[in-house]
Chains A and B, each alone.
Chain A
Amino acid sequence: MSSQGTEFTTQTALEATIPVVSFESVSMRYGQSPEVLRDLNFTLATGSFHFLTGASGAGKSSLLKLIYMAARPSRGALRIFDRDISHTPREHLPLLRRRIGVVFQEFRLLDHLNAFDNVALPLRIAGRKVEDYQSDVVELLEWVGLGHRLWAMPPTLSGGEKQRLSIARAVVTKPDILLADEPTGNVDHAMALRILRLLVELNRMGATVVIASHDQDLVARSGMPVMHLEDGQLSTLAPTVSQPPTPEPVGLDE
């Protein structure tokens, strides 16, 4: 995927100084239930890499939902790509969403589409022609180690294969933000390391990455900054301007 590197890094100097995600006193609730996220204040710098940790129910998935715009804040100002998401009309969201790749804990693959079509889905939605993206998709599937399973249907894939397929779908549009919700939750340790290396590589190509994870060992070994959610609040603040990822993240070698 050498071609991706150049595209990820073609940002103007101005864009690089504006945080890609900015939370200002953001709270969120579902319907009339109590707030699941309270008074969050943080920014994510372009090209940064963060782990998001916290116990089950701490609000990790809800925080990611806010960033991929599947939910809106109930209070506060949320800016993504320098757009005020709380007040952006619904019909403007799809184009912003296309710049965000999401890897879901439960994969959310379409079972009636084969691996190739699942990965190609965001490109079809963006109106691209199959002749134009065919080789990119195949190359990407080979990169995640699924080159031999192009026409396999998701129900026939193993947990690790599904996980890598959903990563491939999340990155096929070369997104500016990559969110992953427990991407190593369903795989063994060796596969978890492999997936983490994949996400670090994408970050090196320029994507801002946030990974929600339970896996304390993996988080510690990566040496990446951590945002910790506890009871709907960030207890460990991320650096406001995060450093680019360390050239060789420690502890990721097998």
Chain B
Amino acid sequence: MTVQHHPATALQGAAILPLKDGRDGGLVFTIAVLSFLACIAVIAALAADRAAQGWARQLAGSATVQVRPMGGLSGPEAAAQAAEALAGVKGVLEARAMDRKSAEALLEPWLGKGNIPADLPLPQLVTVELDPEKPATAAALNQALKAAHLSAAVDDHSRWMADVRASSDTVRASSAIACLLISAAAGAVIAFATRQGLAARRDIVEVLHLCGAEDPFVARLFQKRFAGLAMRASAYGALAAAAVGAILRLTGGSDGFSPALPIAWTDLAACVAAPVLGATVAAVSAHSVAMAILREQV
């Protein structure tokens, strides 16, 4: 026997739980906001990480050597010799003795222009530009200075780099914790909604049980429903976050948003993960809560 005159969708089997629910609006909004916050946290972390990597690269690419005049050599002479010795070390691209003018320029921010007496003893500095691929180690630089019988202190910036790395780690950890907390909040919201949904749809759940439905069947209905809803809501939030990121990137010019937060277009791609993550969190939360509630019944 063939079935005629029916809507095309009828034989697909309509959704067992009603699709439209007036109470969904607030839930969609909440999940969308959570998703937006998570995406912004990730974009900020990616940008901060990029800034930190830039600073670390600059620091790693150079070293400073302070030369002490010794053995009848004047300061500038000792510095020149040190520069010569250091230039020969493997992993050094360039070593340059800093002249007095450059050294005075470095002090200006503290002492003011024209306030530096001509006879003020200034440290003799050699700036060393290192090969970023294989930078010479502080030990290698010290070795070369020792071989040239020069007394000098090498600062390879490792102390600063450790600080930069630590702050970059902190930003990354904060972002991860924010995302975890936001995911947990989303899970809790979905758990609450599932509880409400099971109570509101008690009539349907009872009919399903009397028709022989097993608990996982019923739980899957709520899981599917809330995973779909969370995916949609997370996508709204992610789109809004991507839009905000794009506006910051556009207004920030070549720096990204600012030198401290250089947003790249690729950072916005992180928002793609939000709907997937949102749907997963919702599915796990709805299923486990529904199963727990159903198991308490007769």
Interface residues of A (CB under 8 A from B): 68, 70-72, 90-91, 94-95, 97-98, 102, 108, 110, 112-114, 116-117, 120-122, 124-126, 130, 134-135, 138-139, 150-151, 169, 173
Contacts and interface: CB of A to CB of B under 8 A. Distances in A.
B12 A130 contact: yes
Contacts of A117: 10, 13-14
B214 A91 contact: yes
Contacts of B16: 110, 113, 121, 124
For the complex of A and B, 9 pairs with smallest distance between CB atoms = A98-B212, A122-B211, A97-B212, A94-B214, A112-B18, A125-B213, A135-B1, A94-B212, A117-B14
Interface residues of B, number: 29
Contacts of B297: 90
A126 B3 contact: no
B151 to A, nearest CB: 83
Given A70-B298, A71-B298, A125-B217, A130 B13 contact: yes
B3 A94 contact: no
Interface of B: 1-3, 6-7, 10-16, 18, 203-204, 206-215, 217, 295, 297-298
A150 B14 contact: no
Chain A binding surface, main DSSP class: helix
Contacts of A70: 206, 209-210, 298
B24 to A, nearest CB: 15
Contact of A126 (B204, B207, B210, B212): B212
Contact of B13 (A124, A126, A169): A124
A125 B212 contact: yes
A122 B211 CA distance: 5
A95 B7 contact: no
Contact of B208 (A95, A125, A139): A125
Given A102-B210, A134-B3, A90 B14 contact: no
